[in-house]
A and B are shown apart, each in its own frame.
Chain A
Amino acid sequence: MGGKVTCTLGEVKNRADFIVYWGGNPAECHPRHFTKYALIPKGKFVPRGRKDRTMVLVDIRETKSARASDIFLQIKPGKDFEVLTILRALVKNQPVDRTQVSDTGLTMDQLQDMVDRMKRAKFGVFFFGMGLSMTRGKHMNSAAVLTLAAELNAYTKFVAMPMRGHGNVTGADVVMRWQTGYPFGINFSRGYPRFNPGEFSTIDLLVRGDADAALILGADPGATMPQPCIDHLARIPTIVLDPKVTHTSRLAKVHITTAATGISAPGTAYRMDEVPLPLRPALQTSYPTDEQIIRRIYDAVASKPDWMIHSGKMTSAQI
């Protein structure tokens, strides 16, 4: 397992005749996704738009998105990995244990119907949300859906895409990758990038109390992270750059109000399919941009004596 078989959203718009949302509620969380990219638009090879597409929703509860679906598959909580693995087996005509099927909350008929439809599709797509990627099994669930999509390419065209959100999180991921090789959870304490999710990722660092200062940019962990993280952020010098008052800014020692990117500051945002989009401000503001603030902080830090040996070489003792 590994990798990702995906496409840009225009491919979905123009070709996809079979669309699966898994563990996500786009009707409420990505309200333009149906209309702009996935479900409604008429496309080059799906000229009748919604009529030419079949939409399946897989989730543990009947969300508002279920109303938009042709087929709703309600599975038992925490059984995503099992359902995906059974689907992978059925795709390859492998035998499946009936009791394992009944544990998932779905019937064999439902699963076989899903497999038949997937194979019959001309162009299928999985959009998976945090209901898959952040519940029991986590990255193994993501790997399972990505592998299912990859393996379906032996029969037809199939792709998968995570339903990313929260502002420009994809942009952060893309930039960190080109500068450090890693998307997130990067530790620079040795002077070069290291990556170990679970050890260096934000929640783990905060829960362990390893961080002794925090600079928070374009995020509101005070609203979403576990309580021990929030408690630690309140204990240490936390600096927040945000256009508005947030849960995090309230517990921070310093809140610098910045211009809202895309409204009053220019920039680039990466769409969930990693297509870069220019942001042009519609309004003017007297607030500085995030970039201006970070540059000033950087220059102030850079003017201090370097803590490393100037040649850039470190001794083994330092490393």
Chain B
Amino acid sequence: MRITGGKVYDPAHGVNGVVKDIFIKDGRVIDSPVEGRTIDARGMIIFPGGVDVHTHVAGGAINFARAMTPEDHRRTTAFIRSQTTRAGIGGMAPTTFATGYLYAGMGWTTVNEAAVAPLSAKHTHEELRDVPIVDKSCCVLLANNEILLDLLQDGECEQAQHLVAWYVWAAKAYGVKAVNPGGVAAWKWGKDTGQMTEPVVGYSKLTPAKIVSGLAQIIDELRLPHPMHLHCNNLGAPGNLATTLETMRSLEGHRAHMAHLQYHAYGGDDWNSMRSEAPALAEYFNTHPNFTADAGAVLFGDTVTITADGPWQHLLYKLTGRKWGNIDVENETGCGIVPYTYRPNNLVNAVQWAVGLELLLLIDDPWRIYLTTDHPNGACFWRYPEIIKLLMCSDFRKECLSQLSTKALKRIHLAEIDREYTLYEIATIMSAGPARALGLPQKGQLGTGADADLVIYNEDDDVQQMFGHPRYVIKGGEIVIDEGEIRATPPGRGLLVKPSYDETIETFLRPKFEDYYTLSFDNYPVEMERVEQPIFNNCIESP
């Protein structure tokens, strides 16, 4: 296949709106002309396919959210089955097939499911098989794993490292996620963690700070391609900037990906005095290149919040009085679900909306901050084109600011920011950057040898329209979307990594299973057959 005359944005190669031809053969980009179909892309814009570094699309948590929101399924987009597509439901927590169609329909071709309890990883992989078109990776939750916490408390770092590697491979995962380190373990007794340097409930010495730095060190030692994927303590709480900065300081010398940074950049003492601290956080972030982050931006409207952060969700249930779902997972983690509506006239929500955008605008290196909404927490992923418009048009931002109260305007900084994203920067935050952060060299770029995942837009001044309705989406060299029609639904591939570990860790673990779990050691690991078209990525040479 050959794509001619399109204006190409390929930040990984510094290509900024250059008209050039792209040649595709056997699912990859090649550098010499080939036979086959030619797409005339004159007047069009070509991006590498989108990469979502942090989303929740498959597994026990999102499936719980689906069960809890039938009232949304009823009012939202229905996917009618056709000869190429399966039936499904869109909305706040889309069904698996619909998730693939919605992502691909928007030009995203790789997604990272950010939170998998290893105990139910089989379930996650079964769901991921039913998410068509897009390639998929996932991160396992380990920062509240009691076996690991015991080792960290005892200073058994080497053993802990083997354990982490074993879990990554057992769950057929790609990376490691830390959610509210120590806090979810405390939630098993209905508690949370307070300070970074106070011991976790049930532990004598182990603090959240030690879990965070210990895990980051292990992940660097293992040379996993994706750094520790960190959901900090005190998510969502007024004044949590202090916790976020303290966490980041404890990570000096290590890599870390700061998930949904928006939820961690607040000042104030309570809900009434809550304010944006995005400038302070951005300032620290800008001078510390060991971090990447995704925005976790908020858009006004209905959604359902899902997180492994059980104590936070209990608080949200008490604040809202809405439905509350909770699953504590033995030995490993938790999970909470609360439907939520972000309202512009609500002070807290207005601050959250602004903070997401402020971080995206104030963090000056687009290679280190990525476009996400922490789907479905801040908003659903299919609303990304709205955020792109907010980033690219400061006039539109000002128009949106006018719906906020004067009280809210005093708590935020958005009105003072004039920066407008360029298309090149958008291509960086939606594709090139997150692909690099995930350590996926074949993604997020259009150089020779890259996976032929790309999205072609009709150039349009209305960027929301443009990004919401690609002219073509090509996945693995195949046209999957053509003018809004789903042409093909190839299965997506599973992205894996196998870190090395000492096999004797199994001798240590096997007897522990009797005490910590209710299933046998041999039934625990995810079998290779459950992963669809596995692709192995190598560990990196140096962190």
- Chain A residues with CB under 8 Å of chain B are 1-11, 13-15, 36-37, 44, 122-123, 150, 153-154, 156-157, 159, 174-175, 177-183, 188, 190-195, 268, 270, 274-278, 306, 308, 310-314
Tell me, yes or no, whether B424 is within 8 Å of chain A by CB: no
**Residue ID in chain B nearest A3 by CB atoms:** B323
Residues of B within 8 A of A191 (CB): 80-81, 87
Pairs of residues from A and B, 4 with the lowest C-beta to C-beta distance, nearest first: A312-B82, A10-B330, A2-B323, A7-B328
Residues of B within 8 A of A37 (CB): 518
Knowing A157-B189, A268-B122, say if A312 contacts B88 (CB, 8 Å): no
Please determine whether B81 and A268 come into contact, CB atoms closer than 8 angstroms.
Answer: no
Please determine whether B326 and A5 come into contact, CB atoms closer than 8 angstroms.
Answer: yes
Complex Cα–Cα for A153 and B336 (A): 13
21 CB < 8 A contacts A-B? A3-B337, A3-B338, A7-B329, A9-B330, A13-B330, A153-B190, A175-B126, A178-B126, A179-B86, A180-B87, A181-B73, A190-B80, A192-B80, A193-B78, A193-B95, A194-B74, A275-B519, A308-B81, A311-B82, A312-B84, A313-B80
Complex Cα–Cα for A2 and B304 (A): 14
* A245 CB to nearest chain B CB (Å): 31
Tell me, yes or no, whether B89 is within 8 Å of chain A by CB: yes
Knowing A177-B66, A268-B126, say if A153 contacts B330 (CB, 8 Å): no
Residues of B within 8 A of A174 (CB): 63, 123
**Residue ID in chain B nearest A278 by CB atoms:** B523
* A122 CB to nearest chain B CB (Å): 7
Residues of A within 8 A of B330 (CB): 7-11, 13-14
Knowing A3-B325, A7-B329, A277-B523, say if A178 contacts B79 (CB, 8 Å): no
Please determine whether B324 and A3 come into contact, CB atoms closer than 8 angstroms.
Answer: yes
Interface of chain B residues 332 through 352 with chain A (CB within 8 A)? 337-338
Please determine whether B120 and A181 come into contact, CB atoms closer than 8 angstroms.
Answer: no
Complex Cα–Cα for A192 and B79 (A): 6
Complex Cα–Cα for A313 and B484 (A): 12
Tell me, yes or no, whether B327 is within 8 Å of chain A by CB: yes
Residues of A within 8 A of B527 (CB): 278
Knowing A179-B130, A268-B122, say if A312 contacts B83 (CB, 8 Å): yes
**Residue ID in chain A nearest B96 by CB atoms:** A178
Q: Which of B58, B190, B324, B327 contacts A157 (CB 8 A)?
A: B190
Q: Is the interface of A mostly helix, strand, loop or mixed?
A: mixed
Residues of A within 8 A of B91 (CB): 181
Q: Which of B88, B122, B314, B331 contacts A276 (CB 8 A)?
A: B122
Tell me, yes or no, whether B317 is within 8 Å of chain A by CB: yes
Please determine whether A122 and B189 come into contact, CB atoms closer than 8 angstroms.
Answer: yes
**Residue ID in chain A nearest B84 by CB atoms:** A312
* A192 CB to nearest chain B CB (Å): 4
Residues of A within 8 A of B517 (CB): 10
Knowing A8-B119, A192-B79, A274-B123, say if A177 contacts B188 (CB, 8 Å): no
Please determine whether B88 and A181 come into contact, CB atoms closer than 8 angstroms.
Answer: yes
Knowing A153-B314, A268-B122, say if A177 contacts B73 (CB, 8 Å): no
Complex Cα–Cα for A130 and B113 (A): 36
Complex Cα–Cα for A195 and B314 (A): 29
* A183 CB to nearest chain B CB (Å): 6
Please determine whether B326 and A4 come into contact, CB atoms closer than 8 angstroms.
Answer: yes
Complex Cα–Cα for A175 and B326 (A): 19
**Residue ID in chain B nearest A2 by CB atoms:** B323
Knowing A2-B68, A156-B190, A268-B126, say if A181 contacts B93 (CB, 8 Å): yes
**Residue ID in chain A nearest B324 by CB atoms:** A3
Please determine whether A2 and B322 come into contact, CB atoms closer than 8 angstroms.
Answer: yes
